[in-house]
């Protein structure tokens, strides 16, 4: 006869046997009208600190720029991030910082300049949503660089899941050192 205590203990150990990568989080619509993922970076919006913290974890920093009501931003969350293989790949290798292209929160850029999200977007020439920016790995590598030169690559607009994952692989594998994202996509069909 199975006691209640043994039954509960057995259920608990079965639950622990579930592998974390199979568990995924759902997109949440935030108060500012943007969809977000629970695993996105919660930040004081200081780019240099965020880049260093990501590097300390063996990850890369990526910024996603979004806009309330953007159908392609929504699609990115509800389709692309909803695929466990995409979510797991990104979570293991990247810290994602979500910013609002017309937002008013104060952000400290790599060079120490403090601007609103909207002004930082203008400084980097971000004009479309969603836009993903991927930066060099070390803060020291950014010293004296113009804003766009700090990026190793950028992706603007919606990418279907296969290309979306390839974009993150392109950065994680440092393929930008040998060619463009377009070349990488062609080689990895």
- What are the structural domains, with CATH classification, of the chain? 25-187 (3.40.30.10)
Q: Give the number of other CB atoms < 10 A from CB of residue 125.
A: 10
Instruction: Name the nearest CA neighbour of 133 among 104, 110, 105.
Output: 110
Q: Give the number of other CB atoms < 10 A from CB of residue 32.
A: 12
Concatenating the DSSP letter of every residue in 59-113 gives -EEEEEEE-TT-HHHHHIIIIITTSHHHHHHHHHHEEEEEEETT---EEE-TTS-
* Rounded-to-integer distance, Cα 32 and Cα 126, Å: 19
Show pLDDT as tens, one digit a residue, over the chain (189 residues): 444 444 434 444 444 334 444 455 688 888 888 999 999 999 999 999 999 999 999 999 999 999 999 999 999 999 999 999 999 999 999 999 999 999 999 999 999 999 999 999 999 999 999 999 999 999 988 888 999 999 999 999 999 999 999 999 999 999 999 999 888 888 877
Tokens encoding 58: 């063996």
Half-sphere CA count of 127, side-chain side, radius 13 A: 1
């Amino acid at each position: 006869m199975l006691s209640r205590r043994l039954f509960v203990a057995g259920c608990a150990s079965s639950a622990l046997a579930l592998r974390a990568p199979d568990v995924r989080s759902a997109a949440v619509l935030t108060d500012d009208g943007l969809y977000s993922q629970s695993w996105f970076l919660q930040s004081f919006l200081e780019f240099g600190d965020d880049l260093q913290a990501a590097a300390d974890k063996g990850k890369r920093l990526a910024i996603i720029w979004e806009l309330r009501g953007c159908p392609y931003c929504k699609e990115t969350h509800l389709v692309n991030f909803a695929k466990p293989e995409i979510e797991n790949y990104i979570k293991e290798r990247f810290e994602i910082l979500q910013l609002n292209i017309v937002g008013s929160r104060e952000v400290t850029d790599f060079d120490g300049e403090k601007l609103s999200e909207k002004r930082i977007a203008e400084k980097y020439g971000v004009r479309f949503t969603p836009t993903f920016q991927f930066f060099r790995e070390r803060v020291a590598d950014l010293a004296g660089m113009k804003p766009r030169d700090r990026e190793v690559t950028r992706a603007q607009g919606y990418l279907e899941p296969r290309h979306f994952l390839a974009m993150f692989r392109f950065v994680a594998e440092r393929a930008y050192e040998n060619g463009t994202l377009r070349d990488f996509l062609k080689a990895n069909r």
